[in-house]
Structure formats: structure tokens, C-alpha cells
Amino acid sequence: MNKVGIYYAYWTHDWDADFVPYIYKVKKLGFDVLEINAGTIAALGADEKKRLKDTAAETGINMSCCIGLPPSSDLASSDITVRQAGINHLNRIGDAMVECGIDRLSGIIYSNWPGSFEDRGVTKQQAWDWSVASMKEAIKKAEDLGLIYNVEVVNRFEQFLMNTADEGVAYVKEVGSTHLKILLDTFHMNIEEDTIGGAIETTGEYLGHLHTGESNRKPPGYGHIPWDEIGASLKKINFQEWVVLEPFLMPGGEVGRDIRVYRDLMPYADLDEEARKACAFTRAFLK
């Protein structure tokens, strides 16, 4: 049975946060997993990491982490010093994950987010090759520590390197590590793929993590994403990994700015109640 989680930033305006209260919150709302910001945990002190790990253990909540790398850590950069900085950053995150009791990292960990192509002055193939070579180095930390890294396939307006499941599979195959898999996201697939179910089936055994959210960034059930089709395709590939909700409703702060939420998408909603409903909705289509 898939564990169901939610991304902490559903409730926040800024990326840095104290995650401990959200562990208790998601437990109360019926979730199995809290997904948190990998950049934040890499900067925590030892006592803070222990507090986070102990709280998760106390509540029985699993944690995953996610990040979009900044330009200074771009694994696809033409500058070798930037690529090495990205490898070093991922290594620090890997060490922090172990200290926090986290075994999976997802996101745009192969380049930077948001990442444009036009100002690079290189071909996409050159950027791809630099990213693959960098990831072959970075994934060694995951292999050594028993972690899984999932590269996120996102829409063309947020990154250029991989926008489809086909590209994600090609990338993972080229890196060639069993510790590197793919994160698909229903919001992004709705923009780029011919069919969402088809993209899931194309990814198949390489699918290591799934983000869910509606076509309009609302929680599942408030848009036109074909949830029955998604559930059927997940069953077809025997997907047993975690499904994490990633809705964003609130404008303002770093989160609203970076996700480009410019209005309150559900102005009269009780965020906790909507999360509870979305958790139940998710478990239903996964049955």
C-alpha cells in the first residue's frame, strides 16, 4: 500500500520553517508522510536534526525531502566550479538526510530551479551531458548511504532539461544507478504529456516518487486531472512508493513568488480540512 503525504509548504509563505509542528499536524490529518525542504535540513544543527528525527519517530510519520537547486549549485552549468558546488551541496544534503532519518530526496536536483535555457549560450545536449556527468558523481553519496534520489520531470516554464517522462527515463538510464529514479508530478504532466497515464506507464520501474496536485494547483478533486486513469496506471506498473500532495493555494512570501501564485486560490477554505479531504481522496483513487 502506498504511503500518502503532503508538502509542508502548502501551509507556509517561506521555504525555511520549523518542520516539527507540521509533523504533528499531518499525523492528526491522517497522512503517513511529511515532505520537507532539503535545503533547510542541510543547514540545521545537530540538535535540531535530532529533534526532527525524534519527533517523526514518536509520531510514526515518515519524512521525505525535496529541493530545486539554486543557480550556484547547477549541475548542468557550463562552469565546472558551479557543477562541483552542486555536487557538494547534494552531498551535504545526503549527510543531513541520514541524521534526520530521511531516505529519499526528490526535485530539480539535476540543474537549477527555475532554470531557463536561452541565457546559457550552450546547446541542450551540452547541458544534459554536464548534468549527467555531475549526477554520476553526486549519486555516489546516495549509494554509500542507502538513499534514493528522484529527478523531477517538470514543465517547460520551470526547467528545460527534462519535460517528459521519456526524457526522465533517458536521463536515469544514462546515469545508470539503481539509487536514481524519477519523480513525476500530475501538475507538470498535465502541461507536457499526451496522457498522464501513458507517462506513468512509460516511466514504469523508474518511478520512485509521485507528486499530486490539480491542474490549477489546488488539492486533488478541484480540477480536471484524470485521477481514475492515474490510479489504474499506477496499478499497472505496480507502483508501491510514496504519493505526496503538493498543492499551493496562498499568494505572498517566497513560496507564492516562486510558485507564481498571485491570488488566493481558495479564499474561504480551511487549509487543514482541505488537506484531510485530499488525503482521503488520494487513498480512494489508489485503492
H helices of 70-123, in order, are 80-100
Closest by Cα among 253, 242, 163, 249 to 199: 163
With 0-12 / 13-18 / 19 or more C-beta atoms within 10 angstroms meaning exposed / middle / buried, residue 138 is buried
Strands 207-212 and 4-7: unpaired
Q: Which three cell numbers stand for residue 259?
A: 510558485
Cα–Cα distance for residue pair 102/137, rounded to 1 Å? 21
Strand partners, 212: 245
With 0-12 / 13-18 / 19 or more C-beta atoms within 10 angstroms meaning exposed / middle / buried, residue 232 is middle
152, 192, 214, 241: the active-site residue: 152
Cβ neighbours around 273 below 10 Å, total: 10
Cα–Cα distance for residue pair 139/135, rounded to 1 Å? 6
Residue 152: active-site member: yes
The three-state (H, E, C) secondary structure of 200-237, written as one string = HHHHHHHEEEEEECCCCCCCCCCCCCCHHHHHHHHHHC
Q: Which three cell numbers stand for residue 4?
A: 500518502
158, 193, 214, 246: the active-site residue: 246
Strand partners, 187: none
Residue 246: active-site member: yes
DSSP 8-state class, residue 267: T
> Is residue 105 helix, strand or coil?
strand
Catalytic residues: 152, 246
